[in-house]
Amino acid sequence: MSAAVEAGLPTRRGVLEGAVRWLAIAALPLCVSSPGGTVALALLGLAGLVFLRRGVRPAPEVRRLFRWAAGLYLFLLAVDIVNGAPVRSLLSTGVNYLPLIAIVPAHVALRAARVGEGEIMLGFRLAVLAALALAVPSVASLVEGGRFMPVTGLNLNQIPFGLVMALMSVVLLSRALEGSGSRPWADALAAGLVAAVVVLTQSKLAWGSLGVGWLALGILYARRLGPWRLGAALVGAASVAALLLALPPVRGELAQLGDALRRVAAGDLSDGTLGRRILIYKGSWVAFMERPVLGWGLPGQMDVVKGFIAQMSDIRMPATHLHSDWFRHLVGYGLFGAVFLAGFFLFVVRLARVAEPVHMRRALIAALPAIALYMSFDVFFNMDALTGFFALLLAMALPRDGDMA
């Protein structure tokens, strides 16, 4: 036994484990800021590498998941190289997709430090409190009747912030429906409060992702809950939705959406909310069909799409990105981009099969259609606030006790 242990002083291993436990608590609250979740993921991943060097080994299934994630990462880099991407583009791809291979090292750190469900849920509760604090100015502007101020994160606009909150709400609601904790009503209340924050972001895309995630949970838990409990849950969800939809900012956004739909139906694509997105998607499809195998590469793909749009319409296109991760990968990487996205979704399904606690399994499955919807209208990858946060969720969902068969 070392002198430090005999003297009751913390050893280097003990200090690192303690730091990981504190970081595990702080990670989710940090996700309300743009770099916060990614920084926490990176630090956990680095700690995991230290533990791996000290002989800590993940379970066999976790090692297989790491090979899958690393394969996806290297696959995309290889497509970039074949496309003749410049060094700057390779660095961009290499950095932006790093959360994929940080999942398992971060999990190793959590497991080696014996981070339990208590620390993880404390992190969720602190994240809820942080989101509510950020919502105070919006609520105040709503009460005062002045110009409404949408809720945003710290250095994070309301759309990706809304998705982060929507996925947190899905996890909390899944825990409530599963009855994993001693007070399911508290988890349900927290899920509802976070849903209110999502509504106050004034992001229709975040609303849609939240609704799809909640609906997927309802389907997944339908048989388990039975008709009476399911009916009560549906009535509760419908009541919350009705209250939130009655808010003036929500009614205003829905009115704008209705107007945009009418203009698109009349053939007017000049509306910035929907019409110009449709033009971008049309241009993206033409670009994909021109180079369906390898795509055009990420650098300058928006210029390529704008060139095709100019052949279809004289509407000025100020957008700087494709507003769809599906098209972004198809235009940038061709069919190989579709292979990557399919591989990513299958990876999450595979991980969800072994996730612990049980409510995380259903939460991750319910998160997939929510993310798929979000990716249809905005960028999920290459947005560190989103990929960092979701990678943290995946790392926390992997079992931290015992081996997996």
Specify the DSSP class assigned to residue 153.
Answer: B
Q: Provide the token pair at 172.
A: 């909390």
The Cβ of residue 365 has, within 10 Å, a number of other Cβ atoms equal to 20
134-143 tens-digit pLDDT = 999 888 887 7
Q: Provide the token pair at 5.
A: 């242990």
Q: What Cα–Cα distance (Å) separates residue 109 from each residue in 11, 125, 297, 389?
A: 16, 22, 35, 16
CB within 8 Å of 214: residues ≥ 6 apart: 169, 170, 173, 195, 237, 366
Q: What Cα–Cα distance (Å) separates residue 158 from each residue in 135, 150, 281?
A: 11, 7, 23
42-73 tens-digit pLDDT = 999 999 999 999 998 899 999 999 999 999 99
Angle between helices 158-178 and 204-245 (to 10 degrees): 60
pLDDT of residue 252: 74
CA dist., res. 161 & res. 320, Å (int): 20
Angle between helices 275-290 and 248-265 (to 10 degrees): 50
Residue 228 backbone phi and psi in degrees, to 5: -75, -50
The Cβ of residue 269 has, within 10 Å, a number of other Cβ atoms equal to 19
Specify the DSSP class assigned to residue 182.
Answer: S
Specify the DSSP class assigned to residue 114.
Answer: T
Q: Tell me the three state secondary structure of residue 294.
A: coil
Q: Which band of pLDDT confidence, cut at 50, 70 and 90, is reported for residue 274?
A: confident
- Four-CA torsion 280, 100, 155, 164, nearest 10 degrees: 80
Name the residue ranges covered by the structural domains of the chain: 10-259+326-397
287-301 tens-digit pLDDT = 999 999 888 877 778
CB within 8 Å of 20: residues ≥ 6 apart: 44, 47, 109, 110, 112, 113, 115
- In terms of DSSP H, where are the helices of 182-297? 184-200, 204-245, 248-265, 275-290
Please name the helix (run of DSSP H) or strand (run of DSSP E) that holds residue 164, with its range, or none. helix 158-178
20-29 tens-digit pLDDT = 999 999 999 9
- Kindly tell me if the per-residue pLDDT of 401 is higher than 70: no
CA dist., res. 177 & res. 225, Å (int): 8
Q: Tell me the three state secondary structure of residue 113.
A: coil
180-226 tens-digit pLDDT = 777 888 999 999 999 999 999 989 899 999 999 999 998 898 877 77
Say if residues 169 and 191 touch (Cβ distance below 8 Å). yes
Enter the pTM of the model: 0.89
Q: Tell me the three state secondary structure of residue 387.
A: helix
CB within 8 Å of 348: residues ≥ 6 apart: 364, 367, 368, 394
